[in-house]
Amino acid sequence: MTTMQTERRRPGSAEGGVPLNDRFARRLGLIRRSFRTLGPIVPTLAGRIALASWLTPPRFSPPAREREALASAERIEVPHGDRHVVAYAWGDGRPVFLLHGWAGRAAQLAAFVEPVLAAGFRAVALDAPAHGASPGRKTDLRDVALAIRNVAAAVGTPHGVIAHSFGGLTALVALRDGLDAKRVVTFGMPSHPSDILDRFAEFFEFPDPVVRDLGRRLEDRFGADFWNVYAAEVIARRLGGVGALIVHDRDDADVDWRQAERLAAAWPGAQLLLTDGLGHRRPLRDPDLVARAVAFATAGARPTPITDTTETNHDDEDEEMMMITEAFEKLAEQILLQNGVDLVGPVTIDPFDIEADLVHGRD
């Protein structure tokens, strides 16, 4: 694990939870009072209501900047069971997936689109089931992870994934279940379901009997081994072949930054980048963090060239590359013959493979 730290600190207080409008605040207050009253008396009824709340993400209206970002995207409806999910795509080439968190939406990661395009890749963001423009009222992490793989089947396997919060956990489940991405960047990601349960119970002010009943209901739904099967820090131990950059702000009021330390320690070769003063969502719009995330997510791949409409003659560059490649091939043949290796054909070297090895730091 490699740990990096930013040296700057942003002015102002740390960002807290989701901004609450008056209607939602009143509803939340009613929910909290109901749980405090009913929980100790009928915990099983309160637990059933709590599970329904766990599976039902609230929807919030996107601000103007997000609506403007989606206006330039190609909208794609991807089949997902008996429903569909909505994905948005910009540009051409190998995809880089942009994944939002719980109660979020695709356009929250709009700041990453232009840098991804500039790197020669296609930006693909999706509204998870029951989020944004995707239909449905209820979903869970298994459902979202399957939606990610369905989008990959429709638009192509992503080289990289940039994910926020709960979206990072669903990305890891998708990787475990077959998504073949090579690089992952997470922002403010929880590392264990028990941490999510604790934060959820704190937000709704569940009394202890309701928390225990909800835990049992989650085990009934996902299996008794739910706490390990869907723990990011457990899944990460088996993802040594996937490069990871884990970004977390120490002033994140939604997900404690120490969860990032645990995740980075469990993920072989992961890099940990800690920041200050940005909270849970502002890192997604910080220009420096956006640039670093895109650079990491697109590293080690041959991007699709950006089409240039001007007439340029690249014959000299191509001829020089061919000469260099032929020289490498002849040198390789000499070394192999000197070491007693019988060649059944000419040695060929792809300069792009050499470049990829250098990017990855291989000999």
The pLDDT score that the predictor gives to residue 10 is: 40
- Let me know if residue 346 belongs to a domain: yes
- Let me know if residue 120 belongs to a domain: yes
- Let me know if residue 124 belongs to a domain: yes
124 and 184 in a common domain: yes
The pLDDT score that the predictor gives to residue 207 is: 94
The pLDDT score that the predictor gives to residue 26 is: 84
Q: Is-contact 148 97, C-beta < 8 A?
A: yes
The pLDDT score that the predictor gives to residue 224 is: 93
160 and 294 in a common domain: yes
267 and 343 in a common domain: no
235 and 355 in a common domain: no
338 and 287 in a common domain: no
- Let me know if residue 43 belongs to a domain: no
Give pTM, 2 decimals.
0.78
- Let me know if residue 288 belongs to a domain: yes
Q: Number of folded domains in the chain?
A: 2
- Let me know if residue 41 belongs to a domain: no
- Let me know if residue 142 belongs to a domain: yes
The pLDDT score that the predictor gives to residue 350 is: 41
162 and 128 in a common domain: yes
Q: Which residues contact 177 (CB under 8 A, 6 or more apart)?
A: 145, 146, 149
- Let me know if residue 44 belongs to a domain: no
The pLDDT score that the predictor gives to residue 211 is: 95
The pLDDT score that the predictor gives to residue 344 is: 47
239 and 135 in a common domain: yes
321 and 287 in a common domain: no
350 and 283 in a common domain: no
Residue-number span of the structural domain to which 148 is assigned: 2-18+58-192+231-298
Q: Residue-wise pLDDT tens for the chain (363 aa)?
A: 666 665 443 433 333 444 556 777 888 888 898 898 988 999 999 999 999 999 999 988 889 999 999 999 999 999 999 999 999 999 999 999 999 999 999 999 999 999 999 999 999 999 999 999 999 999 999 999 999 999 999 999 999 999 999 999 999 999 999 999 999 999 999 999 999 999 999 999 999 999 999 999 999 999 999 999 999 999 999 999 999 999 999 999 999 999 999 999 999 999 999 999 999 999 999 999 999 999 999 998 765 544 443 333 434 444 444 444 454 445 445 544 555 545 444 444 343 333 333 333 333
288 and 249 in a common domain: yes
171 and 277 in a common domain: yes
What CATH number did the domain enclosing 157 receive?
Answer: 3.40.50.1820
265 and 145 in a common domain: yes
